[in-house]
Amino acid sequence: LEMGQSYSITKKARVMDNLEKQLICPICLEMFTKPVVILPCQHNLCRKCANDVFQAANPYLPTRSGSLTSGGRFRCPSCRHEVVLDRHGVYGLQRNLLVENIIDMFKQESSRADGSSIICQDLNSSSRPTQERKEETPMCDVHEDEKINIYCVTHGVPTCSMCKVFGAHKDCEVAPLGTVYETKRSELSDGIAMMVGNNDRIQGIISQLDEACRVIEENSRRQKTKVCEKFDHLYSVLEEKKRQMSQKVTAEQEEKMNYIQGLTKKYGDHLEESCKVVERGIQTMEETEMALFLQNVRDLLKKIEDASSTAHLDKVERGYEKMDHYKVDFRRERKALGSLDFIRDDDDENEEEGDGEAGEGARTVSGGAAVSAPPAQPSAPQQINPSLSPTRSSPST
């Protein structure tokens, strides 16, 4: 009966130990302190520990009257899952009432188990008086028969009582192992919590840097697109201006060509008529009958006189064929195009006024940088002389 009771108590103690391990907070390494919050990854934390981790991961996140002005994030210390919070912070996380109830029940059972464990120890000692449990406490290197049971604060090492009384630590400050153990355990727990917070903060910084790289790439792509659009617009303006100026030259070319071709036709007709008169004159010269010759020669001489005169035909003025009066000088425009560059922030207002009036100068603003065509300088007046209209010679009198 005593052995059965001992086995039952021991088994229950093991169950309680296993349960206690499941109720340990991964931050403070102690049993969960209510209220207990459950993360989206289904892991649990003390709300105080969760708030400490969150504050360490977001040291510069502004708060106002206990609530955040905007959401924040931190990583679960157990699985590294990223937890995104709303403006309520960790106070917006759901409480795990089931774990809190289990903690209450565990504490009640623990208080009952304390008495049972004492009974179990008495039963074990009475049933096995000769069996000794192996001690896990290390032994002193100097005094091999002495257990290490105190801690030398001066040298920071555990030692035995004999070393304190007779050995190397007799003049040192010592403290009980349990006290130093709890102190160092607390320091280690705080250090782990701090490292977890620092790691989460560094991870947050890395995430922010990655996001900054993505935003930089997106902004650069958008700004390059705007710059290309401005240059395309500038190309279209230049193409339209080239078309207009070429059209002016083409119009005068066609006008002069039409006039020259018409004048050529007139001279050709006159030449054809003159050839006919010459041919008739040669035929008349072959006439041997004097009376018949005299009858025809009068009209023929009149026609020869008329055909010999070109006063009624237009004459092209000297230099009429030249087209070099269409002169252009793009030196100032070339200089303006060569000076295209991104504008400074203090030029924004001036550029906006210029854009509102005539749309002069391409302008694109991006995060403190802008691209612009400098205000176009007044173009040099096109050096075009009035087209030389063909002059007609007045008929000679």
Residue 177 belongs to a domain with what CATH number?
A: 3.30.160.60
Indicate whether 222 and 153 sit together in one domain.
Answer: yes
Q: Which residue has the higher pLDDT, 57 or 303?
A: 303
Rounded mean pLDDT, 245-260 = 92
Q: What residue has token string 């009952």?
A: 112
CB 28, CB 193: distance < 8 Å: yes
Last residue of a domain, one of 232, 260, 283: 232
- Domain assignment of residue 183, yes or no: yes
Which are the contacts of 333, defined by CB distance < 8 A and separation ≥ 6?
376, 377, 379
Burial (CB count within 10 angstroms: exposed 0-12, middle 13-18, buried 19+), residue 197 = buried
pLDDT of residue 221: 94
159 DSSP β-pair partners: 150
Terminal-to-terminal C-alpha distance of the chain: 162
Which range has the worst mean pLDDT, 59-68, 103-112, 250-259, 303-312? 59-68
- CA torsion angle 59 60 63 66 (round to 10): 10
- Domain assignment of residue 211, yes or no: yes
Q: Is the dihedral of CA 116, 119, 125, 126 positive or negative?
A: negative
Secondary structure of residue 247 in the 3-state scheme: helix
pLDDT of residue 393: 38
**Does residue 66 surpass a pLDDT of 60?**
no
Indicate whether 154 and 227 sit together in one domain.
Answer: yes
Averaged pLDDT of the chain: 76
- Domain assignment of residue 190, yes or no: yes
**Does residue 360 surpass a pLDDT of 50?**
no
Secondary structure of residue 24 in the 3-state scheme: strand
Indicate whether 152 and 210 sit together in one domain.
Answer: yes
Asked if omega into 35 is within 30° of 0 (cis), the reply is yes
Last residue of a domain, one of 214, 232, 250: 232
Indicate whether 25 and 108 sit together in one domain.
Answer: yes
pLDDT of residue 245: 93
Rounded mean pLDDT, 259-266 = 90
Residue 41: which CATH number? 3.30.40.10
Q: Supply 191's token pair.
A: 């250090």
66 DSSP β-pair partners: none
Burial (CB count within 10 angstroms: exposed 0-12, middle 13-18, buried 19+), residue 27 = buried
When divided into structural domains, the chain yields a total of: 2
368-380 confidence digits (pLDDT tens) = 444 444 444 444 4
Q: How far apart are CA 20 and CA 29, in angstroms?
A: 11
Q: What is the band of 175 on the pLDDT scale with cuts at 50, 70, 90? A: confident
CB 376, CB 238: distance < 8 Å: no
Q: How far apart are CA 154 and CA 233, in angstroms?
A: 81
**Does residue 64 surpass a pLDDT of 50?**
no
**Does residue 2 surpass a pLDDT of 80?**
no
- Domain assignment of residue 336, yes or no: no
- Domain assignment of residue 139, yes or no: no
pLDDT of residue 386: 37
Q: Express as a percent the part of the chain with pLDDT over 90.
A: 16
Asked if omega into 26 is within 30° of 0 (cis), the reply is no
pLDDT of residue 352: 56
pLDDT of residue 6: 57
Q: How far apart are CA 381 and CA 228, in angstroms?
A: 30
Q: How far apart are CA 50 and CA 90, in angstroms?
A: 7
Q: How far apart are CA 365 and CA 348, in angstroms?
A: 8
- Domain assignment of residue 101, yes or no: yes
Which are the contacts of 60, defined by CB distance < 8 A and separation ≥ 6?
none
Last residue of a domain, one of 185, 201, 232: 232
- Domain assignment of residue 315, yes or no: no
Number of C-beta neighbours around residue 346 at 10 A: 7
CB 167, CB 150: distance < 8 Å: no
Going through the chain in order, the beta strands assigned E by DSSP cover: 36-38, 44-46, 63-64, 67-68, 72-75, 82-85, 150-152, 157-159, 174-176, 326-327, 341-343, 363-366, 369-372, 383-384
Residue length of the chain: 397
Q: Is the dihedral of CA 22, 25, 27, 30 positive or negative?
A: negative
**Does residue 98 surpass a pLDDT of 60?**
yes
Indicate whether 108 and 26 sit together in one domain.
Answer: yes
Q: What residue has token string 């173009």?
A: 379
- Domain assignment of residue 264, yes or no: no
118-149 confidence digits (pLDDT tens) = 555 554 554 444 444 444 678 888 887 778 88
Q: What residue has token string 């991006």?
A: 366
Domain that includes residue 207, residue range = 148-232
Model's pTM, two decimal places? 0.41
- Burial code (b: 16+ CB inside 10 Å, e: under 16) for 54-63 equals bbbbbeebee
Q: Is the dihedral of CA 134, 137, 138, 139 positive or negative?
A: negative
